Amino acid sequence: MANKNDFTPEEWGKVLESIIAAGIAVSAVAPSGWWGTLKEAVAGLPALTTARRDPKANELIKAAIADFERSRDGNILAMRDRFAHAEAKECVQRSLASLREVTAIVDAKAPDEAAAFKSWLRQISQKVAEAAVEGSFLGLGGVRVSDAEKATLRDISRALGMAG
């Protein structure tokens, strides 16, 4: 069972960053206005709570959640610095790069738990994509997941080494 001790501090930082990157990629591709962006920003948090309580969640996921919650402010500040002054397209590309990095790390360091961890990150992305209606006006019309978000979800799946 993999945990924080199986990773270098830099690798573990990448594991924690991936939790945020999974949502940023989708959120950045189709900005949803102030309210939609706020909904998307918090949409991934229930995935942490659900996984923390899930007896079937593997040790890697549980260790990442525990450490992420303990150092959430530090993780958010690090990601803010990484994405500062970046255009939306660049945020998406940086997020995908982060997910490719973490894929290589967990595949090498936690092969038995990597698939579940990457699937969990993909679920976070999906929750963020579904958090706000895209293209609506005053709450009318729009779609739950835009075409741009669907394409980004496929890119996320590929970055995580999963079928798109």
Classified as helix, coil or strand, 134 is strand
Is there a domain that residue 76 lies in?
yes
Q: Residue 10 in 3-state DSSP?
A: helix
**pLDDT (0 to 100) of residue 146:** 84
Asked if residue 82 belongs to a domain, the reply is yes
61-72 per-position pLDDT tens digit: 999 988 888 876
| pLDDT band of 79, cuts 50, 70, 90 | low
pLDDT score at 34: 46
- Report the domain count for the chain: 1
Q: Is there a domain that residue 34 lies in? A: yes
- pLDDT tens track for 96-148: 999 999 999 999 999 999 999 999 999 999 988 887 666 555 555 566 688 88
Lowest-pLDDT range, 34-38, 82-86, 152-156? 34-38
CA-CA distance, 25 to 105, in Å (whole number)?
19
164 located within any domain: no
For 65, the domain range is 4-159
pLDDT value at residue 30: 67
Residue 123, domain member (yes or no): yes
Residue 135 included in any domain: yes
For residue 80, tell me if it sits in a domain.
yes
Residues 6+ apart with CB under 8 A from 30: 134, 146, 148, 149, 152
CB-based contacts of 4: which residues, under 8 Å, 6+ apart? 12, 63, 67
What average pLDDT does the structure give for the chain? 82
Rounded to two decimals, what is the model's pTM?
0.83
Which of 27-31, 33-37, 66-70, 94-98 is the most confident on average? 94-98
